[in-house]
Amino acid sequence: MPNSTTSEPLEEIEFLARSEHRVTVLEALAERPTSRAELLAATGASSSTIGRTLRAFDERNWIRRNGNRYEATQLGAFVAAGLRDLLERLETERTLRDSWQLLPEETDGFTVEMASRAVVTVAEPDAPYRPVNRFAALLRRTSRFRFVGTDVALLEPCRDELRQSIVDGMETEIIDPPTVAGYILSNYRTHCSAPLESGNLSVSVHDDVPPYGVGLFDDRIAVSCYDPDSGMVRLLIDTDVPEAREWAESLFESYRRDARPLALETAVG
């Protein structure tokens, strides 16, 4: 083992990653004082493995002993927090690796950091409607809903639930491209009548909506990403982080300013 006072940062990362138990132990000790018996129960590791781990942490001044319990020093807690952040980033990267190119561009103001604490729902071959189902769950617990983007693949499977929510009082504002608004009205004219007549639904059209969808709920925002070939929703990211909320509000308002209302007499006539 390299000298703990001279090893390079990458060697320290390798040290932590080389055993699945080291990260668990360090995080447990950063959370609260913990006994060796509790560490054994939490990790399932052998007593000798836990002993070697504690000795290695002690050599690095990451932990201290108080009676029969161990706890992280400020230095150890600092390492644990940074490691958790790194692991969360890598988990996000792994989830987004095959579909990151569908995300909004950085020039649109969206950053991958906004997805670092998000719920990421990916469509799988055996579960293609996972993103739609997650979206429906968000709809069920909001009193206000706003959306801009190409929404047929996302909203059409939820049309009955969306319709009832609007009729029941959910304030809804949707900005569609004209082709999508025309498709929905021509195929679901009767279905749309009650929501439009309720006064709870406002539909506008915009000629240049983004190639992704942005939904705003009471306490979360969601970004829906589409397969350009099939038009199906491949990915849904929803989060409550303030930076993402600010981005979504700003983007929605920018499209709302240039959108034109859908004539209700055309819609329900």
Report helix, strand and coil shares of the chain as percent, to nearest 5.
55, 20, 30
- Convert the pLDDT of each residue in 171-218 to its tens digit: 999 998 888 877 777 777 777 888 888 989 888 999 999 989 999 999
Say which residues have a Cβ less than 8 Å from residue 260's Cβ, sequence separation at least 6.
204, 205, 206
> What is the pTM for the complete model shown?
0.73
Q: Is the pLDDT of residue 3 over 60?
A: no
Confidence of residue 263 (pLDDT cuts 50, 70, 90): low
- Convert the pLDDT of each residue in 99-111 to its tens digit: 777 788 877 888 8
80 within 8 A of 25, measured Cβ to Cβ: no
pLDDT of res. 220: 97
250 within 8 A of 120, measured Cβ to Cβ: no
Looking from the CA of 263 toward its CB, the CA atoms found within 13 Å total 3
The CA-CA-CA angle for residues 212, 146, 249, to 5°, reads 75
Please report where in the chains the tokens 């950063």 appear, as a residue: 30
Q: Is the pLDDT of residue 140 over 80?
A: yes
Position with higher pLDDT, 230 vs 224: 224
Q: What's the whole-number mean pLDDT along residues 124-136?
A: 91
Percent of the residues in the chain that have a pLDDT greater than 70, as a whole number: 94
Q: What's the whole-number mean pLDDT along residues 1-17?
A: 74
- What residue spans define the domains of the chain? 9-85, 98-268
261: helix, strand or coil = strand
pLDDT of res. 39: 95
The correct answer on CATH 1.10.10.10 for the domain covering 9-85 is yes
For residues 246, 151, 137, 101, the Cα torsion angle rounded to the nearest 10 degrees is -60
Confidence of residue 5 (pLDDT cuts 50, 70, 90): low
Is 98-268 in the same CATH topology as 9-85? no
Tokens of 186: 């021509």
Q: What's the whole-number mean pLDDT along residues 221-228?
A: 89
221 within 8 A of 238, measured Cβ to Cβ: yes
pLDDT of res. 130: 93
215: helix, strand or coil = strand
- Convert the pLDDT of each residue in 22-77 to its tens digit: 999 999 999 999 999 999 999 999 999 999 999 999 999 999 999 999 999 999 99
Please report where in the chains the tokens 């290695």 appear, as a residue: 56
C-alpha 17/C-alpha 23 separation (Å) is 7
Architecture per CATH, 98-268: 2-Layer Sandwich (3.30)
Q: Is the pLDDT of residue 269 over 50?
A: no
Confidence of residue 223 (pLDDT cuts 50, 70, 90): very high
Confidence of residue 95 (pLDDT cuts 50, 70, 90): confident
